[in-house]
Amino acid sequence: MTAAWQERVSLKPFNTFGIDVDARYFTQAHSDDEVRAALASAAQRQLPVLVIGGGSNLLLTQDVDALVLHMASRGRRVLSEQGERVVVEAEAGEPWHPFVQWSLEQGFSGLENLSLIPGTVGAAPMQNVGAYGVEIKDVFAGLTALDRETGELRDFTLEECAFGYRDSVFKRTPGRWLILRVRFALARTLQAHLDYGPVRQRLQEQGVEQPSAQDISDAICSIRREKLPDPLELGNAGSFFKNPVVSAALSEQIRVWYPGVVAYPQGEGQVKLAAGWLIEQAGWKGYRDGDAGVHRLQSLVLVNYGQASGAQLHALARKIQADILERFGVELEMEPNLY
């Protein structure tokens, strides 16, 4: 029931930035029982535990003086089908993109816009992953998590997750909840979301007039492959900063100096600015200091050209934050989880 622990394990293959730090102890959990056993042994030894999935939203700035628990549970199933509506469930360790592809192969739509996001099913609710106009909250049907304080299992409804933009109750209470499995409400008939970014245009270029969910997934995969660096070739964690939400007044002030500012009204006098645009205007696109840099095509993506440490990437992120605050009066928040 208890998986073996390894000592002093390099986490380089377990984070998409490719940062070479060590875990003091490392183990994998394939089942609820293995999760419980690992947490119990760690508690006995008074060791903190860091739970990881695909490591695609992590910035590791130092050796991890803890037990790193890698979620490796597998399994996906159809829980119920009622007419149009289908509820599916997947274990936390299931890799996200293959799960999306599996759902499409079953003829279910709803997850197609979230294709090719790295990582695992269990981490997806942490920051309410989103892409191309859809977030998991739009198709969420519940999840089961282990309360690490009491050892009890709890089912969460949509409301209880308190999902926001790249945010959830799980992100706001780090270390409290270990997500074991997640449920999604999908549909047999496609409700296409094509209005975000170049999705519709890409489908038109491909001559697809009545796209299926699989066509949309394929188009989004091709756009993402062009836009985002592949972590296997260039270490990164996707978007490094969240798009900041500021007052409409500040946005208008910025517009006086920068008429091209990219801003999306959010209602109630709030406006979301494109963080990538701000960073590009400030001249950071393509910047490189040693092996830490800003991607040459995507100013929102910090990259590791090989040997950058997490501390170097963090220092670069802080320089960018300070510069954007000074130039625009806007605070940028980092998206990856920092350790």
Residues that bind ligand FAD (CB under 6 A): 16, 50-58, 71, 92, 117-120, 122-124, 126-127, 129-131, 177-179, 228, 231, 236-238, 337
Q: Which is nearer to ligand FAD, 13 or 269 (CB)?
A: 13
Catalytic residue among 239, 251, 299, 309: 239
Let me know if 181 is a catalytic residue. Answer: no
Catalytic residue among 34, 89, 91, 335: 335
Q: Which is nearer to ligand FAD, 118 or 251 (CB)?
A: 118
Are 237 and 336 a contacting pair, CB within 8 Å? Answer: yes
Let me know if 10 is a catalytic residue. Answer: no
Catalytic residue among 73, 94, 166, 168: 166
Are 140 and 125 a contacting pair, CB within 8 Å? Answer: yes
Q: Which is nearer to ligand FAD, 169 or 248 (CB)?
A: 169
**Smallest distance, Å, CB 334 to ligand FAD?**
12
Closest CA to 41 of 21, 26, 58: 26
**Smallest distance, Å, CB 312 to ligand FAD?**
18
Q: Which is nearer to ligand FAD, 94 or 328 (CB)?
A: 94
Q: Which is nearer to ligand FAD, 127 or 251 (CB)?
A: 127
Let me know if 335 is a catalytic residue. Answer: yes
> CB-based contacts of 267: which residues, under 8 Å, 6+ apart?
none
Closest CA to 58 of 23, 30, 8, 33: 23
> CB-based contacts of 77: which residues, under 8 Å, 6+ apart?
88, 89, 90
DSSP letter at 321 equals H
- Listed in order, strand segments (DSSP E) in 30-107 are 49-52, 58-59, 64-71, 76-82, 85-91
**Smallest distance, Å, CB 56 to ligand FAD?**
3
**Smallest distance, Å, CB 336 to ligand FAD?**
7
**Smallest distance, Å, CB 116 to ligand FAD?**
8
Closest CA to 3 of 38, 36, 32: 38
Question: Rounded CA gap, 56 and 123, in Å?
Answer: 10
Q: Which residues are catalytic?
A: 166, 239, 335
